[in-house]
Structures are given as C-alpha cells and as structure tokens.
Amino acid sequence: MSSPKPNRRRRLLQVRTPVSPMQALISSIGIWVVFFGGWIFATSMGWVNPILVPSPAQVFRSIYLLFANDGFASDVLISVGRVLFAFALACLVAVPTGVAMGAFPAIDAVLAPFVSAWRYLPAPSFIPILLMWFGTGEEPKIALLFLGVIFFLITLIADHTKEVRKELIETAMTLGAGRSITVFQVMLPAVLPNILVAMRQMLAVVWTYLVIAEIVASTTGIGAMMMRARRFLHTDQIMGGIIVIGALGLIFDRLFAVLHRRLFPYLQDSR
C-alpha cells in the first residue's frame, strides 16, 4: 500500500460517512420490525394488560372494522376536510402577508412585532373563547387550526423572502423592473420553493391541532371517534385512529415532496 495512512477497517459509526442503499433499506425496515416484534412479543407473552395494550393484529383488525362497519371513512374525510380547509385558508393569508413583509420593510415594521407576539400564545388557550364565540360547529375547529399555524407560517415565509439575495433584486432593477415586477417575477419565484417547504412543515402542525380540536369539542372526525372509543375502553380503536392519522400525515408529506419535484424541476440538478 502506497498510502501513508493505513486503510482502516470500516466501522459501524463513521462520522458523516454515507451508508449504502442496502444498509439504508435494512436499517429502515429493521427498526419497524423491532418495534412491531417487541409489541407482538409483549402482548402474546401476556406481559401487558390486553385491554390497555391490544396486539397489532387486533389494532389493524379494528381499523378494518371501523371502515367496514362503523362508517369511519366519513370521519376521516371530515378530518381531512377540516385540515385542508383551515390550511388553505392559512396559506391564503400567510403567503401574501409573508411575502409582503419580506419585500417591504415598511410593512414588516408594522406586522413583525404583532405577528411574533402572537406566536408565543399557545393556540389551544383560545379554545374556551372560540367555543363561546362560534358555538360547537365547524367554525371553532377551523379557527383553532388556523390560529395554530398562521403566525408561524407568516414568519417562515417572511424570513425566506428576506433571504432572497440582494443581487437578484438589483439585477432585476437594473434590467428595468419596477416594484411589482421585482416582487412578482423575481422575489416570488425565487422564494416559492421555500414557501412550499414551509407549508409542508406547517401542515404537520395542523394535524396536531386537529386532534386537539376534535377531542375537545366534536362529535365527528378521527379525534371524536377516539374519544368515543375511550368511553368503551376500545384501546384498539384509539390506536387505530393514531395509526390512521400517522398514515394520512405521511401521505400528505409525500404529496408535498412530489409537488415540490414537479413544480421546481430546476432544483433537481443543482446539487
């Protein structure tokens, strides 16, 4: 060997050394095998109270039964509808507001102190007053989901817009662009990929508030089903609900990833 450094044996933990695709696959499947294996093992050995911790098989069976017999699909649709409606509403407000704050310091100077103060108020603390204002219909739920993400979304989008490089803006201006062309044809397209990333992060948060909203005051939706199941000690259904929410979250996350790749093909080759 000509190399002065001895070629060390590869160790399992190497700083910043990428793993092979095979190792990645085995690792990612392995962790779930261990998780479900442990769960199955614990329940089949009778180590845990079956009423409190049902077996995986029972949980998946109850998911099937929920969909087949109990009309769970409509609960799921209602929940998804609430999430998407509230999130769309939040985006509709946050994208123009955030971009305007990022583009115009004069707007930022007014809104930033306001928006950042609201971020520190936990949205669930508004539940009592939302219930008093809106009753128990859809409105307080949508309002909670909206309040839960809007201020974070605005701040993220404003920060990303502020990060659009000065040279890009100045190039546009020296090409003859006025304010609206600079904002709509340079800053907005430049920040759009990051806006989508911010949306993806915040959609996960909407799901969190959905469960809170449906547990506190709702007769419909996934969270309400879980609260009903609690009354009858149906832990299998509760866990089924958790798994369904997790799966939905994952599906939406993947959809965002696909959308990102579709909308911004030029980002694929840059790295």
Contacting residues toward other proteins, per CB under 8 A: 165, 167-168, 170-177, 181, 185-186, 189-190, 192, 264-267, 269-270
In the complex, minimum distance from the CB of residue 267 to other proteins, in angstroms, rounded to a whole number: 7
Contact 71, 51 (CB under 8 A): no
When the beta carbons of 172 and 213 are compared against other proteins, the nearer one is 172
Gyration radius of the chain over CA positions: 24
Residue 155 CA to residue 116 CA, distance in Å, equals 7
When the beta carbons of 65 and 190 are compared against other proteins, the nearer one is 190
What is the per-residue burial (b if ≥16 Cβ within 10 Å, else e) of 199-212?
bbebbebbbbbbbb
In the complex, minimum distance from the CB of residue 110 to other proteins, in angstroms, rounded to a whole number: 23
When the beta carbons of 47 and 266 are compared against other proteins, the nearer one is 266
When the beta carbons of 5 and 271 are compared against other proteins, the nearer one is 271
In the complex, minimum distance from the CB of residue 255 to other proteins, in angstroms, rounded to a whole number: 21
When the beta carbons of 77 and 263 are compared against other proteins, the nearer one is 263
In the complex, minimum distance from the CB of residue 164 to other proteins, in angstroms, rounded to a whole number: 11
When the beta carbons of 124 and 193 are compared against other proteins, the nearer one is 193
Residue 220 CA to residue 31 CA, distance in Å, equals 34
Contact 150, 86 (CB under 8 A): no
In the complex, minimum distance from the CB of residue 101 to other proteins, in angstroms, rounded to a whole number: 22
- Residue 234 is classified by DSSP as -
In the complex, minimum distance from the CB of residue 190 to other proteins, in angstroms, rounded to a whole number: 7
- The dihedral over CA atoms of 224, 225, 226, 229, expressed in degrees to the nearest 10, equals 120
Which residue type is seen at 147? L
Listed residue (81, 61, 77, 57) closest to 69, CA to CA: 61
When the beta carbons of 136 and 185 are compared against other proteins, the nearer one is 185
Residue 119 CA to residue 157 CA, distance in Å, equals 14
In the complex, minimum distance from the CB of residue 270 to other proteins, in angstroms, rounded to a whole number: 4
> Residue 97 contacts by C-beta under 8 Å, 6 or more apart in sequence?
111, 154, 157, 158
